[in-house]
Amino acid sequence: MSHRLPLRATFNRAADTYQDARPDYPPDLYADLLATTALKPPAHLLEVGCGPGKATLPLARMGFRITAIELGEALAAKAREHLADFPDVSVITSSFEDWKPPPGARFDLLYAATAWKWVNPEVKYAKAAGLLAEGSHLAVWNADHAFPAGFDPFFTEIQKVYDELGEGDGGPWPPPQPDEQPDPMAAEIEASGRFTVVGTELYVWALRYTADEYIALLDTFSGHIVMDPDKKEHLYREIRRRLAARPDGRLTRHWSAVLTVARCVG
């Protein structure tokens, strides 16, 4: 089983702040998803790892029927709260691996937003293919920290603090630019033998954060959730100190998302 799986339960601790702290996905992503899959409401979608409904709400507002699976009880409760106005959306508290779908259940699309990597690779593709008719689609996307040319120098400064705390990832600095990185999911999807990739799109955007806003965002990331409290206190103190020295007290964080759409081949 993947070493990532134990960490996936940590997001439940951020249920109260996740929806507001995490960024919305770009509207173009949803437009490209529907263009590639040719889906139209009221098609029935299955979402894996819906969290508090970050990627559920935009599709629910379009009129899709959605069954959303969420491991965390607190996150699932938040999703039900956020989706209460949509009677065709149901939220089920379960891991995808353990969820028992109704007999004969079939969906027009299975999708996962910043969640697919947390599902057991020994299970997810076979189970997904079994829930989709041949020719239906799997779509996965993410939201990662991006470092395009000219990224905010704050992150070079604060990376030194992570390294001093032993919390760096050991990778090169700066990381590759978004358009220099391979699709993070395409090879794995193709290797499953259950799906063939039919489209990938990269999206890059930037958001401005105050110290409080940025720390609230960090508190939704698994690595920060489980970080030693003394290390976290030191890191957050350094973030506040550096941003307090700026005239507007803000940083610019770039985000990237890669949408990967694959057709089910059985």
Which residue range is the domain that position 11 belongs to? 5-145+178-206+253-264
User: In the prediction, which pLDDT does 102 show?
Assistant: 93
Helices and strands in the chain, H and E counts: 10, 8
Classify 165 as helix, strand or coil.
Answer: coil
pLDDT over 50 at 2, yes or no: no
In angstroms, what is the C-alpha Rg of the chain?
Answer: 19
Token couple for 82: 């956020």
- Average pLDDT for residues 68-77, to the nearest whole number? 97
Q: Is residue 44 part of a domain?
A: yes
User: In the prediction, which pLDDT does 134 show?
Assistant: 84
User: In the prediction, which pLDDT does 93 show?
Assistant: 98
pLDDT over 70 at 146, yes or no: yes
CATH number assigned to the domain comprising residue 51: 3.40.50.150
Q: Which of 89, 113, 91 is nearest to 25 (CA)?
A: 113
Classify 253 as helix, strand or coil.
Answer: strand
- Average pLDDT for residues 215-233, to the nearest whole number? 96
pLDDT over 50 at 3, yes or no: no
Tell me if 197 sits within 8 A of 261, measured CB to CB: yes
Tally of domains in the chain: 1
Q: Tell me: the pLDDT tens digits for 111-138?
A: 999 999 999 999 999 999 999 988 999 9
Task: Answer whether the bond into residue 101 is a cis peptide, omega within 30°.
Answer: no
Q: Is residue 166 part of a domain?
A: no
